[in-house]
A = this chain, B = another copy of it.
Amino acid sequence: MSPQFTIERIYSELRQQIVNRSIPPGSKLSENLLSRKWNVSRTPIREVLRRLESEGLVTSHRYKGVLVNLITLEDVEQLYPIRIYLEGLAGKLATPIISGDPEKLKVLEKFCREMEVLSKKKDIEGYIAKNNEFHYYIWHSCGNGWLIKILENLNSQVNRFIVKALHVPHRIDRSVCEHWDICEKLRMGDGKKVERAVQSNHRRAFEDLKRELTNRS
C-alpha cells in the first residue's frame, strides 16, 4: 500500500477542510473517527493534529480531545493589521522582481481582466477566488520564504472567517480598480507606491467588511 505519502495527504486535506469551513469552527476532531476514516492508526493522526495545533488551527485539551478553533471578529481585527503591513512589505519586495519581468506583469493583468469579467457577471465566489490568486501571485514573487509562510498562515485564518456571501457588490467594483492600480504601480517599479496601494486595498476591504457586519447585526 501507499506507505507514508498518506500522512501528508491527510494533513493537507484536513487542513483545507478546516480552512474552508467544511469542518466548521468548534467541531470536535476524534482520533478514532479520523483514523477509521483514513484507514490508518491513531499514531499518524495524532501527529497531524499536533501540526495543526502548532499552526493555531485547532486546540487540544488534555484527555478531552481536539477542537477546531473558533475565529471571531476580534481575531480578524487583530489579524488584519498584521496582514496589511506584511502584504505591503511583500508588495514592495516583489516590485523589482515583477517590474523587471514582463511575463509576470502579463499574468497579473490577466488576473485583473478576469476579475473584471467576474465582477460584471456578479460571480462573487469566483471573484474572491481570483482575487486570492492575484495576491498569492504577488507574495510568491517577493523572494522571501519566511514572509510567504507567514502570509499563508494569516490568509488561512482570515479565510476561515470570511463569509463569502458577505462581500458587497459595490465593494467589488472598487476592488477591481484597486487591483488595476496595483498593477500600474508595479509596472512603474515604484516599490513604495506598490506598498501603499496593496495596503489601502486591504484596508478598504476590511473596513467594508466591518461596516457590513455591524449593519447586519
- Stretch with Cβ within 8 A of B (4 or more), from A76-84, A125-133, A182-190, A200-208: A76-84
The reply on A122 being an interface residue by CB < 8 A is no
A147: chain B residues at CB < 8 Å are 78, 81-82
A145 surroundings in chain B (CB, below 8 A): 78
Alpha-carbon distance between A62 and B5 when the two chains are bound, in angstroms: 10
* Residue in B46, B55, B81 whose beta carbon sits within 8 Å of that of A89 in the complex: B81
The CA of A43 and the CA of B45, in the complex, are separated in Å by: 12
A144 at the A/B interface (Cβ < 8 Å)? yes
* B-contact 0/1 string along A174-193, CB 8 Å cutoff: 00000000000000000000
Q: Is A65 an interface residue when CB atoms closer than 8 A count as contact? A: no
Q: Bound state CA distance, A154 and B153, in angstroms?
A: 14
Residues of B within 8 A of A28 (CB): none
